[in-house]
């Protein structure tokens, strides 16, 4: 069981959260201008690193906010949580 | 020594109002206070008690709990005072059930089905938390000076929750009133 720190609620059990994949994927501003390969890269290709990974989590059974977590994909050790640039405050 | 038995009661005719707005906006907080007569709790996972019980649900979301017959008044006050602001006020009374639990063993009982720490040094009067209890999503608050736990579940989960409480609470001599 992972202990994940929600930026608002503090450390909670992993069962309260749902996983949202890699953090920092920005939707292209003009999808029509992209080639199929570039669009597929945005949709499907992820870095899948061995080691430090910045990823999205949602505190689904708690405050229901999205936030970011930095987790080591080998040891599962979580080194910290961060609010997303949109803040999630409002 | 009289051990206080664990008691559970469903609070009938409870009204629930979901309020959303920007907690960074002083105008919003002041207007909400003018409408409800009490300050919205901005500290995470706390509940403020006055005419209403106001639970912190998120950085921009609160749950207002009051007797069902007051809901219409509270909503019209909120709509009046908050007009022009970017907010949402919703009556969700039909979707929730409130239970009050008291007695010495409530903390131990909750601990059987929930990952939160219910030690008295950690979960204090005025604290609340949303979590899972026996896999049901719940809101738990410690109210009335720390004597009563309020357990709020979705209405459709109430029957299941009561069955679980009856089973898990048997060793504590749980009573339903």
- Chain B residues with CB inside 8 Å of A63's CB? 44, 57-59, 61, 130
Q: Among residues 36-75 of chain A, which lie with CB inside 8 Å of chain B?
A: 61-65
A65/B58 CB distance under 8 A: yes
In a domain, A31, yes or no: no
Q: Is residue A56 part of a domain?
A: yes
Domain-located, residue A54: yes
User: Which structural domains are found in chain B, ordered by start?
Assistant: 7-11+95-176 (3.30.1360.120), 14-93 (3.30.70.1520)
pLDDT tens digits, residue range B50-79? 999 999 999 999 999 999 999 999 999 999
Q: Is residue A90 part of a domain?
A: no
For chain B, list residues with pLDDT below 70.
1-3
pLDDT tens-place values along chain A, 90 residues long: 899 999 999 999 999 999 999 999 999 999 999 999 999 999 999 999 999 999 999 999 999 999 999 999 999 999 999 999 875 553
DSSP letters, chain B, are --PPPPEEEE-SSEEEEEEE--TT-HHHHHHHHHHHSSPPP-STTBEEESSSEEEEEETTEEEEEEEGGGHHHHHHHHHHHTTTSS-EEEE-GGGEEEEEEESTTHHHHHHTT--S---TTTS-TTBEEEEEETTEEEEEEEEGGGTEEEEEEEGGGHHHHHHHHHHHTGGGT-EE-
Identity of the residue in A16, A89, A90 whose CB atom sits nearest the CB atom of B132: A16
State the ipTM, two decimals: 0.91
Quote the domain boundaries for residue A52: 3-24+39-82
CATH assignment of the domain containing A68: 3.30.2270.10
Cβ distance B22 to A90 less than 8 Å, yes or no, reads yes
Contacts of A62 in chain B (CB under 8 A): 129-131
Number of domains in chain A: 1
Is the residue at A12 inside a domain? yes
Domain for residue A14, yes or no? yes
Residue A34: inside a domain: no
Q: Which residues of A touch B115 (CB under 8 A)?
A: 12-13, 15-16
Q: A87 lies in a domain?
A: no
């Amino acid at each position: 069981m992972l202990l994940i720190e929600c930026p608002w609620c503090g450390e909670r059990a992993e069962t309260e959260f749902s996983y949202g994949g890699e953090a920092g994927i920005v939707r292209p501003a003009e999808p029509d201008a992209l080639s199929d390969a570039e669009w597929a890269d945005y949709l499907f290709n992820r870095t899948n690193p061995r080691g430090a990974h910045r990823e999205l989590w949602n505190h689904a059974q708690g405050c229901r906010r999205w936030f970011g977590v930095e987790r080591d994909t080998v040891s599962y050790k979580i080194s910290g949580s961060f609010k997303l640039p949109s803040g999630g405050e409002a | 020594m009289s051990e206080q038995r664990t008691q559970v009661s469903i609070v009938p005719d409870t009204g629930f109002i979901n309020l959303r707005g920007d907690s960074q906006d002083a105008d919003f907080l002041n207007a909400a206070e003018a409408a409800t007569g009490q300050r919205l709790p901005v500290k995470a996972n706390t509940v403020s008690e006055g005419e209403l019980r106001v639970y912190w649900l998120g950085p921009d979301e609160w749950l207002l709990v009051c007797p069902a017959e007051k809901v219409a008044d509270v909503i019209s006050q909120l709509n009046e005072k908050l007009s022009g602001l970017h907010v949402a006020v919703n009556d969700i009374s039909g979707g929730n059930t409130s239970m009050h639990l008291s007695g010495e063993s409530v903390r131990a009982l909750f601990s059987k089905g929930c990952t939160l720490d219910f030690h008295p040094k950690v979960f204090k009067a005025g604290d609340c938390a949303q979590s899972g209890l026996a896999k049901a999503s719940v809101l738990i608050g410690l109210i009335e000076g720390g004597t009563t736990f309020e357990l709020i579940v979705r209405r459709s989960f109430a029957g299941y929750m009561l069955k679980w409480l009856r089973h898990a609470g048997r060793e504590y001599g749980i009573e339903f009133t």
